[in-house]
Every structure is written in structure tokens, then in C-alpha cells.
Amino acid sequence: MKSVIIIPDRCIGCKQCEIACSVEHSKSKNIYSSVFETPKSAPRIFVLPGDHSCFSFPNKCRHCDPAPCLMICPTGAIYKDSSIILVDPTRCIGCRMCAMVCPFYVIRYRESPDIVERYVATKCDGCIDRIKKGNIPACVETCKTGAILFDDLNKILKEKGLNFAKKVFLVQKEGKKIDVLQEKNCYNMLQELKEKLYRTMVVEDE
């Protein structure tokens, strides 16, 4: 099954995905007209800077299964459509419980064009309308570096494994050593970021 997949080491922090997401969820679907809308459309994907100068991470809803936000919502405003976790703004009471339990901190509270003067939970909807029409998500379509993909995860992992195996074979053939640390550099940076976030959460809880 296809889903949106993030490859952090390809992200250059250009924020084109944020712009595309914001326009896609605007009333006009137009980059020029959307800035004059009320309420203004906002992105549901967030490009976050890392500790390293060349490291950025596009953070978005993972549509968890099971989804903590769905399980804790007291009004049933958060529901599941196929594999996508969605929000019904008309049923949201703004209790913020979903945002508190989201492990990726990607739920925001914003004014909804469907609800007058009320802030409701807003998150990535997987561009479900685009998917049903046979298109790919807006963030994937606009990403020029391949940092955001729409594909089967197992397929991508298989391709990465094959590419790594080819490098190992080539190095062995040439009688050189392969720098595994260099291959895993971006992965290690991501792990360090996760550990720092975890330590921060532990300190806040105490």
C-alpha cells in the first residue's frame, strides 16, 4: 500500500512542500488568491531545522495505526477513512486532547472555513481528495529533491538495500573498504535528534 514517505537526507529546507500544502487546502487552490482568503490557509506539513546546518526534516502526520488522536477524541471528530486519519471540524470541540497525545506534534488549532470564529484541530489529510482522483499528494508533487515520496515503503527499502549491496560488491571488487558510517550519517543524525526530543519531553514531564 502506498503512503507518503520522508527521506530526511534529501531535504534542503526549501519549504516548497509547505506552500503547496497551504495552497491545496485553500478555497481558491491558487497561490496568488489564497493569501487574501479569510481565514488564511496554512500548511499541514512542517519543515523543521536540525542541529546540523544542512539538515531539515519535513514533519507531518503519520496516520498511525492505532492512532492515539483518534482513540482519545471524546466527540468522534477524528475518524479513519481507509488508512487515512481525518478530522471532522463540525464535531471538534477544541479540547486539545489530540494535540497532547500526538507523538509527532503535528496537530494544530486553526480557524476553519466551515466553522465561523472557532478554532478546530487541523492536520494532514493525506490529500485524500487528490488520491481518489488518481493524483499524488501536493507535497510529494512539488518536492524537487525526492525528500517526500508517495510509494510502497517495502519497495523503497528493497531498492535501498539493493543499492547498498551493489556498493559493497563494488568496493570488494576494487579491494577497498566501504565507509558504513558515511552511509548511515543522516540516519545517525536523525536518531540523535529523536533522542534529544525524548530527553526534552522527560525533563518537561518532571
Domain residues of the chain, as ranges?
Answer: 2-152
Mean pLDDT of 146-171: 84
pLDDT-derived band at 141, boundaries 50, 70, 90: very high
Mean pLDDT of the chain: 85
The C-alpha cell that represents 144 in the structure block: 524537487
pLDDT > 70: percent of the chain: 81
- pLDDT greater than 50 at residue 182: yes
- Would you say 177 and 184 are in contact if contact means Cβ atoms under 8 Å apart? no
Asked whether the predicted pLDDT for residue 53 surpasses 90, the reply is no
C-alpha closest to that of 67 among 93, 44, 98, 94: 98
Q: Report the pLDDT value the prediction gives residue 132, as an integer from 0 to 100.
A: 92
Fold for 2-152, please state it. Answer: Alpha-Beta Plaits (3.30.70)
Counting every residue written for the chain, the total comes to: 206
* Sequence-distant contacts of 112-119: CB under 8 A, at least 24 apart: 112/39, 113/27, 113/37, 113/39, 114/89, 114/90, 115/89, 115/90, 118/94, 119/94
The answer to whether residues 58 and 45 touch, using CB atoms and an 8 Å cutoff, is yes
Q: Do residues 17 and 58 lie in contact, with contact meaning Cβ atoms separated by under 8 Å?
A: yes
